Structure formats: C-alpha cells, structure tokens
Amino acid sequence: MARSAKPKSNPENSPSPGAKAKRGGGLRGVIRRWGLAVAVWCGMAVGAYLVFCAYGLPDIEEAAREPRRPALVVEDATGRTLASYGDLHGGYVGVAQISPYLIQALLATEDRGFYHHFGVNPFSVIRAMWVNYRAGGVRQGASTITQQVAKNLFLSTDRTMHRKVQELLLAFWLEAKFTKNQILELYFNRVYFGGGTYGVEAAARRFYARPAKDVDVYQAAVLVGTLKAPSRYNPLSSPDAADKRARQVIANMADAGYLTDAQAARVQRREAVGARSGSNAGYFGDWVLDSVRDRLGPPDRDLWVRSTLDPRAQRIAEEALTATLDREGRSHDVSEGAVVVMDRSGAVRAMVGGRAYVPGGFNRATQATRQPGSTIKPFVYLTAFASGLTPDTQADDAPIQIRDWAPHNADGKFHGIVSLRTALIHSYNTVPVRLYQHLGGDAITATCARFGIPQTDSGPSIVLGSGSVTLLDLTAAYAALANGGIGVWPRGLDSVRDAEGRIVDRPSGGGPGRIADADAVATLDAILAQVLVDGTGKRARLAIPAAGKTGTTQDGRDAWFVGFTDRYVTGVWLGNDDNSPMKNVGGGTLPARVWHDVMSDLHGGR
C-alpha cells in the first residue's frame, strides 16, 4: 500500500509567539486591574471605617475634665485616713514626684517596651495571640500603657472592635502629642486604685499615709498590683490577696532587671506591710460624715476631716468586743455588741458599732435605742441627793405594787431596811421605785433630760430603765458624772479643711455647762466606785480608781456597763438585733468583762 503523505504545516496557520504573549498579558492585566480596583475599594472602606471611628471619638479636652463626686476624707487624730467618700483624687504629680519603684513596678508588670514602641507593641500583640490561641481563650492582653491611658481617660470598657479601633487611634494621637513621661503622668494621675481612690498620690496617702514619692518597693508593688483588679486586690479589704499579688509584681521587677534576685528575695521575705486601715472605725467614719453634712451640707469640693478617734483606743475596743463575742457569744445566745470610748471632754476616741462593719450599715452605738435598765438608776439617786437625802438615808427594800406592776430584785429576794448607798451598790429595784414616790416623776425626768436622756413618759418604771437611749448618749451622760456635773456633747469632729489646707469648719464649745450640783455628783460618784468593789460590777474592777454601773433589762434582752476613770468614759452594750433574750447575760457579766479589758489596756497597766 502506498503511504499517505503527512500534511505539511503551514506557518501562516500557527499562532505566533507574540500572539501568545498578548493573550497572556491580557489576562494578567485584567487581574491587575481588578486587583487594583478591589484594593482601592478596600482602602476606601477601611478609610471610611477609620473616619467613622474617629468621628465617634469623645472630645478629648472635655473627657479630661470629667466631672466627679467631691471627696470627703475622714482622718483619725494622728492624720491617718480612716475612710473616704466620693471620688478621691490626689493632687497632680509629675514623674519626678513619683517613687521610681512605682514606675519600675508598672513598666515591669504592664509594659516593658513602653519607651520603645509607638503606642502599640506588635511583639506583645503576636505573643498574646499565640498564648490565647494555645489556651483556647483570652488569657493574656497586649494593651500598652498608652492604650490603657486612651481607654481609661476617654473610652468605655466595652470589648468591641469599634472601641478597640478607637483605642488604637487615640494611642497614636497620644504618642504624637505627648512625651513618654507625660503619658506616664497621665496614667498615674487618673488610674483607679480601688475604694473610690483615683491617682497614685491619693492611693499612696489613702493606703500608706505618705506621698507617692516616698513609697518603698513593697508598697509600690502593692499599689501597682491593685491595678489588675482594684476590688480584688485592695490592701484594706483583701490584705492577703494584695500581698500575694505584690509578690508577683516584685518577681516581675526582678525579671525585668529593676531588682537583683537577692533584692527581690529580701523584699519578699520581709513581713507584709499592711495598708493603714481603720477596720471597724467605718462606723465612726459614717457617724462623722453625717455630722459634717449636718454642719456644712452636701460637700461641693474635696474636704479633709480631722477626727477625734484614737487608733490605739479603736483597736483595743474592737479586739475586746470581738474576743468576748467569739468566745462567749454562741453559748450565751448573744450575737451583737457596741462600745464607745470618749474622754471627759466628750471627744469620742473609739466607736465600735457592731461585730462587723458593713458600709452604710446599722450603727448600734448611735442608732440603736434600747432600754438602759439599771444604768439609769444613778440619775434617780442623784435627784435624791440633790433634794437633801444622803447615802445613809434608810429605805425599805420590800415588796411594792403600783396598780398591776410589782417589781422585784434580780436575786429574787428582798433585803429589808437598807441605806441608799447599799441599794445602789447592789442595784436593788424596789428602793428607786420608793424614791420615785417620794421625789415625783417630774423631778427625775428633769434630771435625765439635763443629762441628755429624755424620757417618753414619767411613769414609775422609768427608774428601772423602761425608756430608751443610745449607747453614745448614755456614755455622754456618764461623762458628765465623771466631770463633777459639767455636761458634754459627744463629738467626733475636730476640724475640716479643704484641698489647700484652709480650715473650713472647727466646732467650738464642749457642752451645756453645769447641769448638776457638784456635791451631789461627788456623793454619787463615790458610791459608783463601790459598785466595782462590792457590788454588781466586780468583774469590771480595775487596779486604779474607777466608777460605773451595770444594767440589765427584762428577760436579758439588753446588758450594759458604763463607767469612767480620771481619763476615759466607756460604755458597753450587748444584745441581739431582733431583741431576743440572751442566756444568763447581765450587765455584771460579759459587758463588765469587755469594759474591764478595754479600760485596762487603755490605761496601759496604770
């Protein structure tokens, strides 16, 4: 067979190399054109979004002047902060006025690359993304100090993309407008440290009673440690958690090279230096705050109140009451108590308004009106002595009945003919009732009123304490007995000054003057001294001259001991908020012990 011949290629029919290039170039051109268009549109979209975010930024100058509640700071007699109300801001301090330990602790813990980044730290962002990815959730943040300033000063805490973009824009703006040190100053002066305290100067004075420039390494670590969670790491309310967090900050400082390992170990080995707290003095602080508002009205500026409270006396009173309730409370069905200590001028040196302070809670020293029981009897006998009767005047401790009321003695016995001295020392009940019949109710209620114990009626039961009184007022009444009949007004306020140190208010005058005959009071005081030696108050007896009186109400619902020395007047009340009876508790038992413990420690073994 003949082979068929292969057709010869025709050069004219095959595409040229130029045609192939043209066709490929056209495709790439289309891709480039579309890619450019997409990039332009994306850029426009991003730009529009940035404009939208920037448009929504707050007015920076206005945000920097954010209004706040005026602060009122209550100090004890030594100048230590007891409590603060409102938003407390310290004076603006520059970097030179801030302890270098504070700056080092902040940089080591929050932003080690602060002086090298432009507001955002890309390395921290990458590291945080990797840590969070491996953890399967948010475990580490990447905000720089600049970003935190932007957020704290100008933005909300919402965790949204919109807010985050605004934060970045403001961070860039801050870096462009301020130096690094100025950004640090903004941070330290506006950051929140907990307890209503803003700014490092206010926090240093609030927690450690010293300016920010004098804070040591450990205190700096505590203050910086609170920034992570101000309520959780507050050194006043959570000292153990604050200490644990501070030790981590100290480790950060060593890791960053600000401390050697030996220095860090030395700081961590030392005992934690607690923040300076008033503890249960919050009851006192609330009381003083009310008195300031009564005198000056709601504060319209920051005010500092120097009070009369003695921190040593406050600690003694708190420990004595707490120890007794912890040891005896359950077995005697008693859950609450209160203590007031004042000097003879009426200045309150300690106030415990309950077992545990609750901000704004019920103050059993100033707000609880309870029946005083036999602590009212000294004013009955004082009326008798002022009328001409004497301690040796004889009276019959025998059954007595007035209409349907027949009082009896606590021991269930009657003791026949006794002197007024004996009747008061042993707190017999029928004798003051007979004095009521002899003197008249009006004379007795008038005496009580002069001593600040007004009576709601003038019936015979008032001589056994059927009226009502607060512990504070009853203690002030006994202060007048300690003063020989010169009355006092209880006070906790010494002076009020403004931020510049100018005196705004200073109470004057200490009381109503003479309210009882001096000789009659001296006679009464001598008998009240015997109450601690031979009478119902033996458990309160001291190694120094003292006088006082027990008081117990019907069914043991209230138990009191109020007494005085040449320096202090102290009142103690025990009971239950629901007015339920206690078990075997009278004024001469647990209250007398608390009174003894407080007064013994106050006088330092004198």
Neighbours of 340 (CB within 10 A): 28
Which one of 99, 277, 374, 427 is the catalytic residue? 374
The Cα 378–Cα 463 span in angstroms is: 9
Q: Which of 8-22, 142-156, 363-377, 514-528 has the lowest mean pLDDT?
A: 8-22
Segments in 111-216 forming alpha helices (H): 122-135, 145-154, 161-177, 180-190, 200-208
- Model pLDDT for residues 117-133, shown as the tens digit of each residue: 876 666 655 554 555 44
Bridge partners of 337?
574
The Cα 506–Cα 125 span in angstroms is: 56
Q: What fold, for 81-269?
A: Penicillin binding protein transpeptidase fold (1.10.3810)
pLDDT greater than 70 at residue 11: no
Does the CA dihedral 61-212-83-327 come out positive or negative? positive
Residue 209's pLDDT is 73
Write down the domain spans for the chain: 81-269, 309-371+470-496+518-606, 373-467
3-state secondary structure of 423: helix
Active site (annotated) includes residue 458? no
The Cα 479–Cα 342 span in angstroms is: 8
**What pLDDT band is residue 4 in, cutting at 50, 70 and 90?**
very low
- Model pLDDT for residues 41-86, shown as the tens digit of each residue: 555 544 444 444 444 444 444 444 444 567 788 888 988 877 777 6
Higher pLDDT, 453 or 29: 453
| Average pLDDT over every residue of 285-300 | 86
* E runs forming strands in 282-384: 303-307, 336-343, 348-352
The Cα 468–Cα 363 span in angstroms is: 16
Interaxial angle between packed helices 471-482 and 518-534, expressed in degrees from 0 to 180 and rounded to the nearest 10:
110
DSSP type of residue 110: H
| Average pLDDT over every residue of 202-210 | 82
Q: What is the largest CA-CA distance in the chain?
A: 168
Q: Return the closest-CA partner of residue 169 out of 124, 236, 109, 119.
A: 119
Residue 555's pLDDT is 85
Q: What fold, for 309-371+470-496+518-606?
A: Beta-lactamase (3.40.710)
- Model pLDDT for residues 216-243, shown as the tens digit of each residue: 999 999 999 999 888 889 887 788 898 9
**What pLDDT band is residue 19 in, cutting at 50, 70 and 90?**
very low
Is it true that 81-269 and 373-467 share their CATH fold?
no
Residue 2's pLDDT is 42
Residue 560's pLDDT is 98
pLDDT mean across residues, the chain:
83
Q: Which of 288-292, 300-304, 435-439, 549-553 has the lowest mean pLDDT?
A: 300-304
| Average pLDDT over every residue of 20-41 | 59
Residue 341's pLDDT is 98
Residue 27's pLDDT is 72
Residue 48's pLDDT is 46
Residue 314, Cβ density class (10 Å: 0-12 exposed, 13-18 middle, ≥19 buried): buried
Note the Cα 585 to chain centre separation in Å.
Answer: 32
Active site (annotated) includes residue 374? yes
**Token pair of 468 as six digits:** 């009502």
Which one of 75, 84, 99, 110 is the catalytic residue? 110
Q: What architecture is the 373-467 domain classified under in CATH?
A: 3-Layer(aba) Sandwich (3.40)
- Model pLDDT for residues 582-598, shown as the tens digit of each residue: 999 999 999 999 999 99
Note the Cα 573 to chain centre separation in Å.
Answer: 23
| Average pLDDT over every residue of 335-364 | 92
Looking at this protein, which amino acid is placed at residue 217? Answer: V
Looking at this protein, which amino acid is placed at residue 158? Answer: D
Spatial neighbors of 286 by CB under 8 A, at least 6 apart, are 83, 359, 360, 363
Higher pLDDT, 374 or 8: 374
| Average pLDDT over every residue of 352-358 | 89
